[in-house]
Amino acid sequence: MKKILEVKDLHVSFHTYAGEVKAVRGISFDLNKGETLALVGESGCGKTVTAKAIMRLLKEPPAEIKKGSQILFNGENVVEMKKKRLSTFRGEDVSMIFQDPMTSLNPTMTVGKQIMESLEIHKKMNKKEAEAEAIRLLEIVNIPNAAERVKAYPHELSGGMRQRVMIAIALSCNPKILIADEPTTALDVTIQAQIIDLLGELKEKFDTSIILVTHDLGVVANFADKIQVMYAGQVVERGTKKDIFYNSRHPYTWALLSSVPRLNTESKEELYSLGGTPPDLILPLKGCPFSSRCEHCMEICLEERPEELSLTETHSLSCWLQHPSAPKVERPEALRGEIHE
Amino acid sequence: MGRYILKRIGYMFLTLFIITTLTFFLMHSIPGDPLAHMAKKLPEQIRLNYYEKYGLDKPVIVQYGKFLKNVITKGDLGESLRYPGRSVTETILKNAKVSGRLGIQAIVIGVTIGIVLGIIAALNRNRWPDYLVMFIAILGVTVPVFIIAALLQYLFTVRFELLPTTGWGKFKHTILPTIAMCFGSIATYARYMRSNVLEVINQDYILTAQAKGVSPFNVVRKHVLRNAILPAITILGPQIAGVFTGSFVIERIFGIPGLGFYYVSSISDRDYTMIIGTTIFYATLFVFSQLVVDILYGVVDPRIRVSKSGK
């Protein structure tokens, strides 16, 4: 498989009045052609910042992509791209859909115009061609009455439809990578499923790779090939869908999985929730970032950051529990059943 | 849309009627009358004759009835009590033309420069262009217009003899008063646009536009501007109305025969017909400009475009 995107040692900081917030602290990962990679983690763990950094959409300043960080798109370093290259890179090579379809479309422009805009920029289409293409795209994302809807303003469409329009915009120029930043969070559950199905279908059709940013493991389970669990700006565990759901080894991944509601839970049973708060990203992190909330925290966890350790070719994690002299800790009871599907 | 405008015009007349009525009774409740300033010198009989001629001897409610009848049937606002023989309507229209010319010049220049400066300030937030614009804006808001006017006169007529100090008739007469007048609009609009642009820039759809690969210039032109100008239209309404009524201070300083003078003098003179006349004039303009602004709003913002008949 061909590597289409390589992120190497990405560091992103925000300069605020309170100090330098180190939001992303050395993340590396690869994305292959046609693959779906999920970035999972709670709010503030740096997953959206990572996604925006890939497109260079962070406002600099206050944001800063640290020296030495590399984001290689087909070997070309995005961090060093000039303005001109960036505007072809965005939309043509990589495009993005956002969390809230209610606010991510320009309220004073028809949806047709908003789709046509990128066609006119990247494919150099004239108005007529672009409009015909916009209608075709709306049909592809299953919007009924597309010929009429191109003239609609965003406020005339429902949330689900607006997200479909966003998808149409993002895919209009056949990008190699589609970054979906919590694409279903603002939608209700039935629409969520539709949008996820649509994304899956279009991924095949347009032959794109997808980076899915989400905190919803339910979405991930259906959709992703590879999963990266992020915590405090670092990747704590990564692996295939199977590795993470059925054989995860990191206590934080366990906590995430345990807090997903299940159909077979007793109604009186309280849903698991992880206590405490993530560490303050302004302060320097000593030891494992998760140590303050970890049930299995040991002395070493407070002192030294665990190195990333590969269990198999696909599955790796950073946790001191994997050290030969660490006590044996089993996966939590509740998660164990899932090994047999 | 047509029905909406008709309805609005109906309300306009209702509003005007209420304003006129209130003003009529209010002005008659101020102590004194048009003769008060010379009353002691006038023989009693002349005073009574004067009152009788203008109907001032009758109860206020009867005067009001007569006034309404004249306005509605003949469209006649009567003649000035202070300057006998001058028709109120003609005086207003003649002087409003002068004020209007000046006002339009000032507002067009002021709003344009203000908007441009506001955008520049917002896009260079916390850098020197921003500080410079905000400095100008604060000056424009805080320094009284008569100081700016006097300063301009000193600069351009005394130090550099380029323009006339006072007078009216040629274009060169309008330059200084226009500059003095537009300072306020520049300041208001620059501050307003700056905060609007800053707000719009942080909206998600700007990020969407950037993610599409739209160039920074086009992001501003196509996505930021329209959304940022919207709220600014709201404050345009009262300003349009103010255009024709002129500015008392500016007209005094530059010796311009505008309407502003009458707004102030008619009240101290108890020139009842002129008070009502100028009030109706301003109120009409004000209400009408509100309607224009509302229609304009619909043109710019599709979200409040008055419904395509419920579809």
Give pLDDT tens digits for A241-271. 888 888 888 888 888 888 777 776 666 777 7
Helices (H), A55-181: 83-88, 111-122, 127-140, 146-149, 159-171
For residue B281, is it within any domain?
Answer: no
Give pLDDT tens digits for B57-85. 788 888 888 888 888 888 777 888 777 77
Asked if B230's CB is within 8 angstroms of A57's CB, the reply is no
Give pLDDT tens digits for A217-242. 877 777 888 888 888 888 888 888 88
For chain A, what is the largest distance between any 2 Cα atoms, rounded to a whole number of angstroms?
69
Asked if B213's CB is within 8 angstroms of A118's CB, the reply is yes
Q: A94, A117, A121, A155: which to substitute to probe chain B, counting the most B Cβ within 10 Å? A: A117
For residue B29, is it within any domain?
Answer: no
- pLDDT in the model for residue B132: 92
For chain A, the 3-state helix, strand and coil shares in percent, each to the nearest 5, are: 35, 20, 40
A89 touches A74 (CB < 8 A): no
Task: Please name the amino acid found at residue A312.
Answer: T
- pLDDT in the model for residue B54: 78
Asked if A83's CB is within 8 angstroms of B211's CB, the reply is no
CATH number, position B98: 1.10.3720.10
Out of A90, A100, A108, the one facing B211 most closely (by C-beta) is A90
Share of chain B above pLDDT 70, in %: 96
B311 interface with A at CB cutoff 8 Å: no
Looking at residues A178-206, what average pLDDT do you find? 83
Structural domain count of chain B = 1
Asked if A107's CB is within 8 angstroms of B302's CB, the reply is yes
B99 touches B244 (CB < 8 A): yes
Q: What is the token pair recorded at B103?
A: 């006002």
- pLDDT in the model for residue B164: 79
Asked if A155's CB is within 8 angstroms of B213's CB, the reply is no
Residue of B nearest to A151 (CA): B302
Q: Is the pLDDT of residue B311 over 60?
A: no
For residue B164, is it within any domain?
Answer: yes
For residue B18, name the pLDDT band (cuts at 50, 70, 90): very high
Chain B residues closer than 8 Å to A108 by CB: 226-227, 230, 300-303
Q: How far apart are CA A202 and CA A204, in angstroms?
A: 5
Q: A49, A95, A99, A108: which to substitute to probe chain B, counting the most B Cβ within 10 Å? A: A108
Question: Please, what is the average pLDDT of chain B?
Answer: 83
- pLDDT in the model for residue A333: 67
Residue of B nearest to A118 (CA): B212
A149 interface with B at CB cutoff 8 Å: no
Give pLDDT tens digits for A313-338. 888 888 888 777 777 777 776 665 45
Give pLDDT tens digits for A4-44. 888 888 888 888 888 888 888 888 888 888 888 888 888 87
Looking at residues A41-52, what average pLDDT do you find? 85
Task: Please name the amino acid found at residue B304.
Answer: I
For residue A74, name the pLDDT band (cuts at 50, 70, 90): confident
Asked if B230's CB is within 8 angstroms of A108's CB, the reply is yes
Give pLDDT tens digits for B94-137. 888 888 888 888 889 999 999 999 999 988 888 899 999 999 88
Q: Is B53 exposed, middle or buried (0-12, 13-18, 19+ CB in 10 A)?
A: exposed
Range picked from A188-192, A205-209, B23-27, B158-162 for highest mean pLDDT: B23-27
- pLDDT in the model for residue A340: 40
DSSP letters spanning B202-259: TSHHHHHHHHHT--HHHIIIIIIHHHHHHHHHHTHHHHHHHHHH--HHHHHHHT---S
A252 touches A275 (CB < 8 A): no
Asked if B216's CB is within 8 angstroms of A108's CB, the reply is no
Q: What is the token pair recorded at B89?
A: 């309507």
For residue B250, is it within any domain?
Answer: yes
Q: In Å, how far is B129's CA from the nearest CA of chain A?
A: 17
How many CB atoms sit inside 10 A of residue A301's CB?
Answer: 22
Does CATH place domain A3-224 in 3.90.550.10?
no
Give pLDDT tens digits for B262-301. 888 888 888 888 888 888 888 888 888 888 888 887 777 7
**Would you state the torsion angle of the CA atoms of residues A262, A264, A265, A267, taken in this order, to the nearest 10 degrees?**
120
Task: Please name the amino acid found at residue A9.
Answer: D
- pLDDT in the model for residue B38: 63
What is the domain extent for residue B197?
93-236+246-257
Q: How many CA atoms lie within 13 A of A143 on its CB side?
A: 27
Q: In Å, how far is A96's CA from the nearest CA of chain B?
A: 6
A and B: number of Cβ contacts within 8 A: 76
Q: Is A33 exposed, middle or buried (0-12, 13-18, 19+ CB in 10 A)?
A: middle
Q: Is the pLDDT of residue B309 over 50?
A: no
Give pLDDT tens digits for B185-210. 889 889 999 999 998 888 888 888 88
pTM more than 0.80: no
Domain ranges, ordered by start, for chain A:
3-224, 231-339
Give pLDDT tens digits for A266-307. 667 777 777 778 777 787 778 888 888 888 888 878 888 888
